Amino acid sequence: MWLARSAIRRPVFTTVAVIIVLVMGFVALNDLQMDLLPDIQPPVGAVVASYPGAGPEEVLDKVTQPLERQLGTLPGLKNIQSQTREGSTLVLLEFEWSQDINQLQNDVISRINQTSLPDDVDTPSFLKFDPSTFPIIQLSVMTKGTSDKELREDIHRISQNLSQLPGVASADASGLREQQIRISLDAEQMKKHHLSQSDIRERIQATQISQPGGIIHKGDQDLTARVSSELTSLKQFRELELAVDPRTGKKITLDDVADVRIGKAEQNVITRTNNKPSIGINVFKQSGANTAEVSRDVRAELDRLSKKLDVDTHIIFDQGKYVDMAIQNVSDTMVMGGILAMLILFLFLRSFRSPLIIGVAIPFSVITTFVLMYLSDFTLNIMTLGGLALGIGMLVDNSIVVIENIHRHLQQGEDHKQAAIKGAGEVAGAVTASTLTTVFVFVPVVFVSGIVGQLFREFAFTVTFSLLASLLVALTLVPMMAARIMKRPKTGWGEQREQSRFYRGFRRLLQWSLAHRFAVILISLALLGAGAVGVRSVGTEYLPASDEGIFIVDVKMPQGTGLDKTQKVSAQVESILAEDQDIKTYQASMGSNRNAIAGESGRNISQIYVNAVDKSERSRSTRTIINDLRPKLAEVDPDVEVELREQSSFEAAGAPNTLEFRVSGDKEDLQKWSGKIHSALRELDMVRQVTDSQKETQPELVVSVDRKQALKEGLVPAQIVTAVSNATRGQVVTQVDVKEGSYDVFLHYDEELRDSPDRLKKLPIQTPEGGTVPLSKVADLEVKQGPITINRSDLLDSIEYKVQYDGTDLGTVEQAVQKELDRILPSDLTVKFTGGAELLNDAMDDLLLAAGLAVLFVFLVLAAQFESFKYPFVIMLTLPLMVIGVAAALWLTQTPVGVTAMIGLIVLTGIVVNNAIVLVDYINQLKARGVPSYEAIVDAGITRLRPILMTATTTVLGLVPLALGWGEGTEIQQPMAIVVIGGLFSSTLLTLLVIPVVYSWFDPETRRMKKAPQEAK
């Protein structure tokens, strides 16, 4: 009471304090970073090692397994997986979420250094997972008909300008074929003149040289000597003397054995946008930079450059734009919820002045929350704003209870100041208790581990900040304003209200309930049982899928397929995408170093990044578009494997509508049962696609050195291996400046040498005597099936499976898949569900513990508030009542029980008791004034009916926009809003009847009451 009295008696001081907080809030809001999600740092790292020239089996035996044995005993390690390929290995380490990857880094490096590895193995490196390594913007640049040189200059200018923007780490282009001086060697002429590729390389490097000398004195000056010999034109290259023909004495020049010209580098990457050749640019932000701000700066710079450059730019993916839309949508739902809350207050109190007070209280509470968020180093994201949207309805609860009580005292004829002091003082204890119970509900959420804990920690703190701010406002600003602007109601208005048909009907219903207590309890228990059955029927999920309008099409040709064939098949797929009216843009990338953000790479693979039109412009969901495209794309080519997968910003929580699991065991058994797993799972009605991580063998040309024959020719295997490698791959030998520009010099054999294995057999290998021998004389060439990638998990061979489903929930699919696997697989193969299924199971354990702790904390707070264990027990009986509405809401909307729904249930634990607190507290106040227990119960129910309905209605209506899931970014909060609305609806209606009934059993005066006293009727 002292807080309200001080605020009323010192209005200027209160106003000054409000102004100071508002100024701080606007400054904090301006400085708050904006991002899609809170900063998530998964405790994941990778150890990468290379063993040049070694096959997968050898790499596994000598590198992968020793590393696994050393790293497998690291503290806090949850999973260890490895991928072993020819010449390299990758060991993926996944730690418990309680571990800090930065603190573990030294332990990992120490274990690596203790591992005994062959001398030829490069020192393994440890890489930490960093979300900032993923691009926030992918854009495509297409020429309008400019020359290649102008296009390259435009690309370099775009990349350079974007890289210089604040918050941008880099802007990397891919698919751009650089110009270089290409020296194509003629194998026949090389053989004729007894020259090798290494001879040419050494001659060029010996001619193109610049080296500093010492100091030369010239009088009083000291001159730095520089010795140089440079090739400055293509003519000089062609005239470069290589040797002298001993038979004719004629000089042999480079022009005699090679073609020298400026040309494009060999095409290893093909990028197309909307079926037109393009160059891809990935924009990466700096760690900690504001995603939305960086995105806006990039878009503005592109608009500025488009007016100066003769190219077309298309943004394929822009996380910042999605962040802006998501934040805006959640903000709009928050504002709409606040407006609905004010409207409800006007309808109940029939006064414009009371909603005006609330209209001030809401923004002041929100702005105070911004100050606390800034001090806590939070960002504006869909979780923190979702917390505010959830809190909007609850923000006004305290103020409504205070205003309604002040309104009642004014109704009784008291003056404005006295009514404000008494009205606020009477309910100060109740609103403080109700706020603290809701706040303490979030304490256990802070201790939830895993990605759920990182996602919802800022959410929990934001709701807590907003509720504490609303309590402060309700006990200071609201009474101060009420004492000055609230008008006294018309005389007899309160009596008229209580004599209305609604109030008289509720009085009779309450009296009937007190007279038929067992019937009321039995009806409640029956509804509770029906609710429990309803909850089980809706299934489970981890996080709701968000429709961001982005999906990826992976086109996989058989291993060994060339880039030319891959791009032709990809063009057919792109043509089908072009016919779909709901698809806006698509970018196809092919090649080993392509501009891809996920998945495999290779000359036989095309990855197509597809962007649908805005959600408001299409009637189909992204999932429906994918399902409609799948049968069309399957008919493109009988040899092609097409995989479609939806992209989500919540990728760390598992791919949308995808069940992932791993089968481990003996390698031969895994391969034997893989086909049966595919066949069994594809027969399930809800399954749309099944893919696995098993790699096929690929054809390769194996060149086996004949060591005996090589020694006869004076050669060692290393010389032959180097010669073949350089001849088939080519090599950059130097860089020169000619009048046409600065270029790399690329030395290679002409294409004819690589047209067939038979031609490669004629490759001249230089001998120590100065002659040459054909490759076929010192090596055998044979086409074989190359080695596969070896996947292991927890020190066992394994295969990862991904099952895409539709029309059902994650829990149902998991049960169906588990049943099929139990039916077909032998006992020596182990199955472990990963991805969203694993995260869901882990999160549910944590959330159930958090829910239990929340109930305990609420009870203890109430016991401390009421200085009794009896009345808190009565109040806690509202918790089962909320399950009835929760089940009905989930069943009606067919929303699966997931992490956000469970968070909503925990939030409800603190909300639903508030109505009972206000009711029980007022019953006790009336009894303390000497009112008989029965009359106190009935009068308290009648008196508190209006504030209970007002607070519940404002909270429900405040969440309606969020529950409807309007716009992007609201999907993750939608189940939580549905749960809170349903639970609050049922608990409010039943609290008004069940709590008085239970209270009457605990009160000595009414415990043995058979029927309502006659005088109270």
* Residue 192, both tokens: 């004729």
Answer with the residue of higher pLDDT: 145 or 255. Answer: 255
Can you tell me the distance from the alpha carbon of 812 to that of 816, in angstroms, rounded to the nearest whole number? 6
What's the rounded Cα separation, in Å, for the pair 986 and 534?
Answer: 15
- Which residue has better confidence, 951 or 92? 92
- Which segments of 592-671 are extended strands (E)? 602-612, 641-646, 658-665
pLDDT higher than 50, residue 75: yes
pLDDT band at 1014 (very low <50, low <70, confident <90, very high): very low
HSE-up of residue 653 (Cα within 13 Å, Cβ side): 26
User: Are 461 and 507 found together in one domain?
Assistant: no
- Residue at token pair 């509804």: 527
pLDDT classification of 596: cutoffs 50, 70, 90: very low
Tally of CA atoms within 13 A in the half-sphere of 943 that contains its CB: 22
Query: Two tokens at 710?
Result: 């090589």
Q: What is the CATH number of the domain that holds 448?
A: 1.20.1640.10
Give mean pLDDT, residues 121-148. Answer: 79
Q: How far apart are CA 913 and CA 919, in angstroms?
A: 10
DSSP for 575-586, please give it. HHHHT-TTEEEE
**Are 384 and 445 in the same domain?**
yes
User: Out of 294-308, 498-512, 563-577, which region has the weakest mean confidence (pLDDT)?
Assistant: 498-512
Owner of token pair 């089968």: 663
By C-alpha distance, which of 894, 927, 919, 911 is closest to 980?
Answer: 911
Beta partners for residue 179, in sequence order = 264
Residue 969 has a pLDDT of 64
The answer to whether residue 596 is domain-embedded is: no
Residue at 823 is within a domain:
no
Residues 6 or more apart from 676 whose CB is under 8 A from it?
824
> In this structure, what DSSP letter does residue 64 have?
I
Q: Which two tokens stand for residue 182?
A: 């290409």
| Residue 577 one-letter amino acid | L
The model's pLDDT over 629-683, given as tens digits with 9 standing for 90+, comes to: 988 998 888 888 888 888 876 655 567 788 989 999 888 888 888 889 988 998 8
Last residue of a domain, one of 96, 114, 129: 129
Mean pLDDT over residues 760-780, rounded?
A: 83
The answer on 75 and 4 residing in a single domain is: no
Confidence at residue 878, expressed as pLDDT on a 0 to 100 scale: 82
181 falls within a domain: no
Q: Look at residue 341 and tell me if it is in a domain.
A: no
- Give me the sign of the Cα torsion angle 753, 755, 759, 760: positive
Strand 731-738: give its sheet, edge to edge. Answer: 258-264, 179-185, 741-749, 731-738
User: Which whole number is the average pLDDT over 292-315?
Assistant: 88
CATH code assigned at 102: 3.30.70.1430
- Model confidence pLDDT, tens digit, residues 246-301: 777 788 898 988 999 888 877 777 888 888 888 888 898 887 778 888 988 999 99
Same domain? 874 vs 1007: yes
Residue 729 pLDDT more than 80? no
Taking 90 as the threshold, does the pLDDT of residue 730 lie above it?
no
Q: Are residues 449 and 512 in the same domain?
A: no
Going by pLDDT thresholds of 50, 70 and 90, the confidence category of residue 1015 is very low
| 112 in the same domain as 8 | no
Q: Under a CB-based contact definition with an 8 Å cutoff, are residues 226 and 210 in contact?
A: yes
- How far apart are the C-alpha atoms of 223 and 990, rounded to whole Å? 98
At 864-917, the pLDDT tens digits run 877 888 888 888 888 888 888 898 899 888 888 888 888 888 888 878 887 888
Helix (H) or strand (E) holding 150: helix 148-163
- Residue 637: which of 577, 579, 555, 553 has the closest Cα? 555
Regarding whether 118 and 79 lie in a shared domain, the answer is yes
675 lies in some domain: no
Question: Quick one: average pLDDT of 500-521?
Answer: 84
- Average pLDDT value for residue range 483-496: 64
> At which of 67, 95, 129 does a domain end?
129
The gap from C-alpha 524 to its chain's centroid, in whole angstroms, comes to 41
Indicate yes or no: pTM above 0.85: no
Cα–Cα distance measured from residue 648 to residue 650, given in angstroms and rounded to the nearest whole number: 5
Q: Quote helix, strand, coil % in the chain, to nearest 5.
A: 55, 20, 25
Give the percent of the chain with pLDDT over 90: 6
Q: CA 866 to CA 860: how far, in whole Å?
A: 10
> DSSP string of 263-283?
EEPP--EEEEETTEE-EEEEE
The confidence band for 194, taking pLDDT boundaries of 50, 70 and 90, is confident
Same domain, yes or no: 356 and 467: yes
Contact by Cβ (8 Å): 141, 155: yes
7-16, 514-523, 611-620, 959-968 — which is least confidently predicted?
Answer: 959-968
Burial class of residue 565 (count of CB atoms within 10 Å of its CB; 0-12, 13-18, 19+): middle
More confident residue, 341 or 189: 189
pLDDT in tens, 830-867: 899 988 888 888 888 888 888 888 888 888 888 887 78
Number of domains in the chain: 3
Q: Determine the pLDDT at residue 597.
A: 37
- Residues 371, 459, single domain; the answer is yes
What does each C-alpha distance from 508 to 497, 502, 514, 515, 651 come to in angstroms?
15, 10, 10, 10, 55
514 with 417, same domain?
no
- pLDDT at residue 491 in the model: 55
Q: What is the per-residue DSSP string for 451-467?
A: HHHHHHHHHHHHHHHHH
Task: Give the chain's mean pLDDT.
Answer: 82
Nearest to 362 by CA among 378, 347, 381, 344: 344
* Residue 966 belongs to a domain: yes
Is residue 64 in some structural domain?
yes
Q: Are residues 875 and 998 in the same domain?
A: yes
Identify whether 565 is part of a domain. Answer: no
* Residue 23, domain extent: 1-31+351-489
| Statement to judge: residues 6 and 111 lie in one domain | no
pLDDT tens-digit profile of 682-696?
A: 889 888 888 887 765
Choice among 55-64, 229-238, 481-490 with the minimum mean pLDDT: 481-490
The strand pair at 741-749 and 179-185 is best described as: parallel
Task: Give the pLDDT mean for 416-434.
Answer: 82
Is the model's pLDDT at 576 over the cut of 90? yes
Mean local confidence (pLDDT), 396-418: 79
Q: What's the pLDDT at 779?
A: 87
CA dist 966 and 337 (Å) reads: 13
CA nearest neighbour of 646 among 591, 682, 602, 598? 598
Give the end of a domain, one of 129, 164, 182.
129
